[in-house]
Amino acid sequence: MAGVQLRRARTGVVLAITCLLLLSACGGGDDSSGQSQGASGDTGATITMWTRSATEAASRRLVERYNATHKNKVELTPIPTDNYQPRIAAAAGAKNLPDVFAADVIFMPQYTSKGLFLDITDRIDALPFKDNLAPSHVELGTFEGRKYGIPHTLDLSVIFYNKVLYEKAGLDPEKPPTTLKEFAEHARTVREKVGGNVYGTFSGLSCGGCIVFTYWPSVWAAGGEVMNEDGSQSTIDSPESVAVFETWNQLWKDGVIPASARDEAGPTWTSFFPKGTIGVMPMPSTTLGQMPDNDKVKVGVAPIPGPDGGESTFVGGDSIGISATSKQPDAAWDFLSWTVSDEAQVEVLAKNKDVLARPDLASNKYSSADERVVLMNEMVGKGRTPFALNFGQTYNDPNGPWIPVLRDAILGDDVAKALQEGAPKLTQSLQQQ
């Protein structure tokens, strides 16, 4: 009696589970590429948008202006930077991504290869200024010949130097360093001549993303490479790279960098310069807008040089695209295409001293008012954004292989050896399926 009941109960459970399984397991590949671009997309729709909290300010400025001037309304939800990846994963898993979402540009290869964005090749090509979008962003949003993303916010790495401290150290405040060797000398001089709680320079030595952002341009400026072209192999042990890391290693050994840099994982790495305690350091261009101008800090900028000259930058920031699961791609595109239009770029972004996604507009009336902004806009065309499918898990992930390698190289005693031993580990991660 009980046995039969038990068996019936068991069958019932198995049946229920199988039904649920089938329901959730089948969710075949939706192929809504939505290539129509004919009708205007401004239909009074509500467009959902996600952005990282790190870049929320710029996104919000664009959204507010768009909402004030269009029938469509964009609903912006900023997600804490640390939780962005999990949220995207969960939403994608339930086929419930927002209409539009921004992403750190170096994650674009990963996202596009997983099919998270809609193919917008034809839409982009229909834009009148299609050749004037920040090239490296477009490149990173391209996968197997199709385009999936456009630039949203631009963030470049540039040398920031404090003219007040330069004067105190006896350096010419109008002559920023033009080579990495000069940079190191300037930093040393500031530390030696000013001293106290003032240091020459700073780095986030437990922050993988900070280091790639600020050190790699020096390697590129010297004509060297840190990876191969498709990001499947690390060449971090190239001679140019070794030279760059050796410079920084020496700065650390000579106490030009504060001890707290060793455990700096990213949250506060840009907070010391505005306090007037750092002489010269590479930092994100987006920090310019918040820099003070007082008797402790007067900011000058310069491109990041290689050991013996040259200049380059890491073109970072966010790209943006339409999610593959969006039900209103036309409305979404109406918003996106507007964000890279002349009006949005000049009246919203340039007015705020942001770097533009449209290099052809670089000499607009707002940007040209500040020569530092002019310089940064010019660098967009001279810089690079490295491409790798597994960029995030290799370099940005705090648990990835990059941080131990960079710490070994900068804090250790044998730079060349550290990088030579690190390269295969990085390669393994870059190639992980």
Partner 1 sequence: MTTATSKIARSAGFHTTAAALAILFLFPLAWSGWSSVKGQPGSSQASGYGFGNYGYLASYGEGLFTYVTNTAAVTAMTVVGTLVVSALGGYGFARFDFPGKNLLFLATLAILMVPYATILIPLYVLLDRLGLQNSLVGLSLVFVMFQLPFALFMMRNSFEAVPRELEEAALVDGCTTLTALRRVLLRAVRPGLVTVGLFAFLASWNDFFAPLILLSDASKFTLPVAVYSMQQRTFGAIDYGALEAGVVVMAVPCLLVFLLLQRYYVRGFLSGAVRG
Partner 2 sequence: MSATSTRPPDTAAARRSATSPAGRAMRRARALKGIGYTAPTAAIVVVLFLAPLVLVFWMSLNRWPLLGAPRVNAPDNYTRIPDNPLFLDAVRFTLKYTVIVTVMLLLVALGLALLVQERRRGTGFFRTTYLLPSGVGFAAAALLFYGFYSTEIGPIHGILRSLGLIEETFSFRGTPNSALFSTIALVIWRFAGFQMLILLTGLQSIPLELYEAARVDGASRWQAFRRITLPLLRPTLALLLVLSVSGSLLAFDQFFILTQGQPDNSTLTMVMVIYREAFFRFDLGAAAALSVVVLLVLVALNALQLRVLRRRD
- Of 46 and 96, CB closest to partner 2: 96
What are 396's two structure tokens?
A: 């940005």
Among partner 1, partner 2, none, partner that 116 touches (CB below 5 to 8 angstroms by kind): partner 2
DSSP state of 256: -
Beta carbon of residue 207, minimum distance to partner 1 (angstroms, whole number):
9
Cβ(184)–Cβ(252) under 8 Å? no
Q: Does 292 bind partner 1 (CB under 8 A)?
A: no
H-state helical runs in 128-238: 135-140, 163-168, 180-193, 208-221
DSSP three-state, residue 200: coil
CA atoms lying within 13 Å on the CB side of residue 169: 28
Q: Which of 83, 113, 197, 260 binds partner 1 (CB under 8 A)?
A: 83
Length of the chain equals: 433
Q: Which of 14, 15, 16, 24 binds partner 1 (CB under 8 A)?
A: 24
- Of 89 and 126, CB closest to partner 2: 89
For 304, counting Cβ atoms within 10 Å of its Cβ (0-12 exposed, 13-18 middle, 19+ buried), the class is buried
What are 284's two structure tokens?
A: 């994100």
Cβ(358)–Cβ(340) under 8 Å? yes
DSSP state of 333: H
Among partner 1, partner 2, none, partner that 173 touches (CB below 5 to 8 angstroms by kind): none
Q: Which of 15, 16, 89, 126 binds partner 1 (CB under 8 A)?
A: 89
Neighbours of 302 (CB within 10 A): 19
What are 52's two structure tokens?
A: 């990282």
Nearest CA to 50 out of 37, 35, 60, 36 is that of 60
Among partner 2, partner 1, none, partner that 369 touches (CB below 5 to 8 angstroms by kind): none
Q: Which of 45, 47, 49, 54 binds partner 1 (CB under 8 A)?
A: 54
Among partner 1, partner 2, none, partner that 68 touches (CB below 5 to 8 angstroms by kind): none
DSSP 258-283: -GGGGG--STTTTSSGGGT-BSEEEE
Q: Which of 86, 195, 292, 412 binds partner 1 (CB under 8 A)?
A: 86
Q: Residue numbers of the site for partner 2 (CB under 8 A)?
A: 1-2, 5, 13, 16-17, 20-21, 24-30, 85-86, 89-90, 92-93, 95, 110, 114-116, 206, 259-260, 262-263, 265, 268, 324-325, 390, 392-393, 397-399, 403-404, 407, 432
- Of 106 and 184, CB closest to partner 1: 106
DSSP three-state, residue 314: strand
Q: Does 56 bind partner 1 (CB under 8 A)?
A: yes
| CA-CA-CA-CA torsion sign (279, 283, 287, 289) | positive
- Of 268 and 432, CB closest to partner 1: 268
H-state helical runs in 227-323: 239-253
Tell me which residues in 245-284 interact with partner 1 (CB under 8 A). Answer: 266-268, 270-271, 284
Cβ(242)–Cβ(248) under 8 Å? no
Q: Does 20 bind partner 1 (CB under 8 A)?
A: yes
What is the C-alpha to C-alpha distance for residues 31 and 9, in angstroms, rounded to an integer? 40
Q: Does 77 bind partner 1 (CB under 8 A)?
A: yes
Q: Does 95 bind partner 1 (CB under 8 A)?
A: yes
Beta carbon of residue 62, minimum distance to partner 2 (angstroms, whole number):
27
Beta carbon of residue 158, minimum distance to partner 1 (angstroms, whole number):
15
Q: How far is CA 281 from CA 132, 188, 270, in A?
A: 30, 12, 9
Q: Does 367 bind partner 1 (CB under 8 A)?
A: no
Among partner 1, partner 2, none, partner that 15 touches (CB below 5 to 8 angstroms by kind): none
Among partner 1, partner 2, none, partner that 29 touches (CB below 5 to 8 angstroms by kind): partner 2
Interface ranges with partner 1 (CB under 8 A): 2-3, 5-6, 9-10, 20, 23-24, 53-54, 56-57, 77-83, 86-87, 89-91, 93-96, 98, 266-268, 270-271, 284, 286-287, 290
